[in-house]
C-alpha cells in the first residue's frame, strides 16, 4: 500500500499539516498512537481541571511520561504531560493562546534559519486563527482555530490586574499577541461557545476523503532505504504492517515522540544508537537541546476568587453545563489574567510570565501519580513562570523497544539564573498581593506561606516547588550548523524525503505558552512542503 504523504502525530502541528496537504489534492495518511477525541473530557474546556488532577482520567489521553531524577531539583521525577489523543497536546492543554515575542522568531532567523523571522511567520499565525476582534495588521479572523479573551472575570482577578499596575507600572495591554507583548492582559484562549478549539476540532472534524486518520495506531519505525525515507512500519491488532510514502514522511510526534522515533529508526547520536544495536542511518544530535518553561505556584486565600476546588462544586457546574451549554465556567479555560514583565535578568524583552487563575492549587508539587487535593478555600493562584530557561537537557532511548518510554532529562534548574528569575518573580508577586488595591481582600498566603519570609527562603524552596508548564521544545533543533537536526526547510539532514515539524524544531523556546507557535509551525511547514 502507498499514499502520497505520511504524517506521524495528529497534534498541534501534525493535524494542520495533514489537512493542508490533503486540501492540495494529495492522498495523506495521518497516524495517531492515541484514541479519538470525541469525548467531553477533552472537548469541554473546563474539564482541564479534572483531566490533569484525576489520574484515572489523565491516563486515558496522556502518555504518562516522567523525567529521570532531576539532580538540581531534589532528585524529583516530574510528570511530563504529552497528549496521546487525536489533536495531541492541543486536546489536553490549558488552551491559553500566546504566540511568543516577535524577537524570538527574529532570533531564529539571525541564527541562519532563513524564512523564520517574525515577518516571515506572521502570515502563518494569521492563517490558522479566528480572533474575536477580527482581522488587522497582526491578527487573522478566517482560520479554523477560534480565539477569545477570558470573560466574566472573578473580582479577585480584576483586583490582581489593578494591583499589578499599581505595583509595577505595567500598563493594561489589550492584545499581547499584537504590536507589543509587555503588560497585563486578559488571557486569550483557544476555545469558543463551550468547545475546545483544538487542531482536531479545527482541522480534522470535517476532513476530506483523501485524508485518512488512523487512531490507536503506533508507528514503530521510519523505513530508510539508500538514504531516503520511504514509509513506515506500524503496529495493529494483526501485527506489524508497512505503508509506503510516494512523496514524503513528515514527523510531528512532539518534542518527546519525534526524537524517540528518529532514534528508533537509526537517526541520532551514533554511539548511543549502537549501544542499542540500532543501525545508524544518520549521525545527528537528536535529543539534545531539550528545554522547558518552569513555574512555581503561589496561592492566596481570597473570598472574591469565588470558585471552590471541591468535587461537589465541580459536579454542580457539570450538571448545569450539561443542561445548558456555555452557561458555566466549564465553557472556558480556567485561566483569566496574564502578565508579561521584565526582571533584572531580562535582555530587553519580558522574561517573566504570571498566569493567574481563581482556583486553589496543590502544593508543594504534583509529582506523585495520585489525586492531589488543594486547599478548600476560595483562592487566587499565580503561576510564577520563567520564560527563557538557561538550563538544557537531553532525551535518550532506554531500549530499542518502541513501547519503552524514553529517558527525559530537562536538567531543570541546572543554571542559577533560572532560580534567580523564579525567586524574583515570587518576591514581585508578594509585593503585588500586598498592594493597597488588593491587600484588604487577601486573607493569607497559602502557598508557599509566611513560614518562608525572605528571598533566600523562597529560593531554597524552588527545587521542591518548581514544575513544568508542559512546554518542552528543541530536541530536533532547526539550524544550519552541526547542532542542527533539521534545516530551515525542516528536512532531516542527510535523509531525503523526511521532515520534522513540531515544537521539537524550535532552536530556542518562545516567550510564552508554546501551543500557538507550534500550530504556526504546522501551517508554515505545510507551505514549505507545498512549495
Calculate mean pLDDT across residues 33-38: 96
| pLDDT, tens digit, 9 for 90 and up, residues 463-497 | 999 999 999 999 999 999 999 999 999 999 999 99
471 as an active site residue: the answer is yes
- The predicted pLDDT at position 201 comes to 98
Q: Which of 65, 260, 471, 524 is catalytic?
A: 471
CA atoms within 13 A on the CB side of 134: 0
Calculate mean pLDDT across residues 441-462: 98
Domain boundaries, the chain: 1-128+200-290+392-411+470-531, 151-186+294-388+414-465
Measured in whole angstroms, the distance separating CA 489 from the mean position of its chain's CA atoms is 22
CB 389 within 8 A of CB 509: yes
- The predicted pLDDT at position 328 comes to 87
| pLDDT, tens digit, 9 for 90 and up, residues 322-351 | 888 888 888 889 999 999 999 999 999 999
> CB-based contacts of 473: which residues, under 8 Å, 6+ apart?
255, 290, 291, 292, 503, 504, 506, 508, 509, 510, 514
Tell me whether residue 189 is exposed, middle or buried, using C-beta atoms within 10 angstroms of its C-beta: 0 to 12, 13 to 18, 19 or more: buried
Cα-only R_g, the chain: 22
Instruction: Name the average pLDDT for the chain.
Output: 97
Q: Residue 314 has what DSSP assignment?
A: H
Q: How many Å apart are CA 86 and CA 199, to the nearest integer?
A: 9
Q: Residue 503 has what DSSP assignment?
A: G
As its CATH architecture, domain 151-186+294-388+414-465 has 2-Layer Sandwich (3.30)
pLDDT value at 309 more than 90: no
- The predicted pLDDT at position 238 comes to 84
Measured in whole angstroms, the distance separating CA 223 from the mean position of its chain's CA atoms is 29
User: In which band, very low, low, confident or very high, does the pLDDT at 21 lie, cut at 50, 70 and 90?
Assistant: very high
**Which neighbouring-strand residues pair with 239?**
236
Host H or E run for residue 523: helix 515-530
CATH number of 1-128+200-290+392-411+470-531: 3.50.50.60
| pLDDT, tens digit, 9 for 90 and up, residues 93-108 | 999 999 999 999 999 9
Model pTM score: 0.97
User: In which band, very low, low, confident or very high, does the pLDDT at 179 lie, cut at 50, 70 and 90?
Assistant: very high
* Helix, coil or strand: residue 287: coil
- C-alpha cell, 125: 499565525
Q: How many Å apart are CA 530 and CA 122, to the nearest integer?
A: 18
User: In which band, very low, low, confident or very high, does the pLDDT at 311 lie, cut at 50, 70 and 90?
Assistant: confident
> CB-based contacts of 17: which residues, under 8 Å, 6+ apart?
7, 250, 252, 501, 522, 525, 526, 529
How would DSSP label each residue in 373-429?
Answer: ---SS-EEEEEEEESS----BEEE-S-S-TTSPPEEE--TT-SHHHHHHHHHHHHHH
- The predicted pLDDT at position 321 comes to 86
- The predicted pLDDT at position 302 comes to 98
- The predicted pLDDT at position 310 comes to 83
Amino acid at each position: 500500500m502507498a499514499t502520497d504523504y505520511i504524517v506521524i502525530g495528529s497534534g498541534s502541528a501534525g493535524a494542520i499539516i495533514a489537512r493542508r496537504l490533503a486540501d492540495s489534492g494529495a492522498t495523506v495518511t495521518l497516524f495517531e498512537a492515541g484514541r479519538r477525541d470525541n469525548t467531553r473530557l477533552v472537548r469541554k474546556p473546563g474539564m482541564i481541571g479534572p483531566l490533569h488532577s484525576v489520574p484515572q482520567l489523565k491516563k486515558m489521553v496522556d502518555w504518562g511520561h516522567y523525567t529521570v531524577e532531576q539532580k538540581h531539583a531534589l532528585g524529583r521525577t516530574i510528570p511530563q504531560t504529552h497528549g496521546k489523543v487525536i489533536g495531541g497536546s492541543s486536546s489536553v492543554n490549558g488552551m491559553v493562546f500566546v504566540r511568543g515575542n516577535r524577537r524570538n522568531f527574529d532570533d531564529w532567523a539571525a541564527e541562519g534559519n532563513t524564512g523564520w523571522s517574525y515577518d516571515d511567520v506572521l502570515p502563518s499565525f494569521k492563517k490558522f486563527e479566528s480572533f474575536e476582534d477580527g482581522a488587522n495588521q497582526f491578527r487573522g479572523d478566517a482560520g479554523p482555530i477560534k480565539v477569545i479573551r477570558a470573560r466574566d472575570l472573578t473580582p479577585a482577578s480584576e483586583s490582581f490586574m489593578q494591583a499589578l499596575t499599581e505595583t509595577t507600572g505595567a500598563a493594561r495591554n489589550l492584545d499581547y499577541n499584537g504590536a507589543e507583548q509587555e503588560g497585563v492582559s486578559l488571557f486569550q484562549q483557544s476555545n469558543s461557545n463551550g468547545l475546545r478549539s483544538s487542531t482536531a476540532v479545527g482541522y480534522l472534524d470535517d476532513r476530506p476523503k483523501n485524508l485518512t486518520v488512523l487512531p490507536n495506531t503506533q508507528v514503530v519505525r521510519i523505513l530508510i532505504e539508500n538514504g531516503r525515507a520511504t514509509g513506515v512500519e506500524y503496529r495493529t491488532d494483526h501485527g506489524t504492517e508497512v505503508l509506503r510514502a510516494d512523496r514524503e514522511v513528515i514527523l510531528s510526534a512532539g518534542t518527546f515522540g519525534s526524537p524517540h522515533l528518529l532514534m528508533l529508526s537509526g537517526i541520532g547520536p551514533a554511539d548511543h544508537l549502537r549501544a542499542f544495536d540500532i543501525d545508524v542511518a544518520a549521525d545527528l544530535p537528536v535529543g539534545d537541546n531539550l528545554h522547558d518553561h518552569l513555574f512555581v505556584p503561589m496561592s492566596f486565600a481570597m473570598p472574591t476568587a469565588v470558585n471552590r476546588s471541591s468535587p461537589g462544586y465541580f459536579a454542580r457546574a457539570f450538571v448545569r453545563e450539561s443542561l445548558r451549554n456555555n452557561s458555566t465556567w466549564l465553557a472556558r479555560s480556567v485561566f483569566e489574567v496574564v502578565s508579561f514583565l521584565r526582571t533584572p535578568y531580562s535582555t530587553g524583552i519580558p522574561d517573566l510570565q504570571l498566569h493567574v487563575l481563581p482556583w486553589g492549587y496543590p502544593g508543594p508539587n504534583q509529582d506523585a501519580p495520585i489525586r492531589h487535593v488543594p486547599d478548600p478555600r476560595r483562592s487566587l493562584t499565580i503561576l510564577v513562570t520563567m520564560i527563557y530557561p538557561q538550563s538544557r537537557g537531553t532525551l535518550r532511548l532506554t531500549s530499542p523497544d518502541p513501547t519503552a518510554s524514553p529517558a527525559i532529562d530537562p536538567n531543570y534548574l541546572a543554571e542559577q539564573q533560572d532560580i534567580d528569575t523564579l525567586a524574583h518573580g515570587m518576591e514581585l508577586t508578594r509585593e503585588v498581593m500586598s498592594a493597597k488595591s488588593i491587600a484588604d481582600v487577601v486573607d493569607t498566603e497559602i502557598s508557599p506561606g509566611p513560614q518562608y519570609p525572605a528571598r533566600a527562603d523562597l529560593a531554597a524552596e524552588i527545587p521542591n516547588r518548581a514544575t513544568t508548564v508542559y512546554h518542552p521544545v528543541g530536541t530536533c533543533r532547526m539550524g544550519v550548523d552541526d547542532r542542527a537536526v533539521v534545516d530551515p526547510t525542516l528536512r532531516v539532514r542527510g535523509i531525503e524525503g523526511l521532515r520534522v515539524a513540531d515544537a521539537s524544531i524550535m532552536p530556542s523556546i518562545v516567550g510564552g505558552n508554546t501551543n500557538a507557535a507550534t500550530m504556526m509551525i504546522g501551517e508554515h511547514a505545510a507551505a514549505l512542503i507545498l512549495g
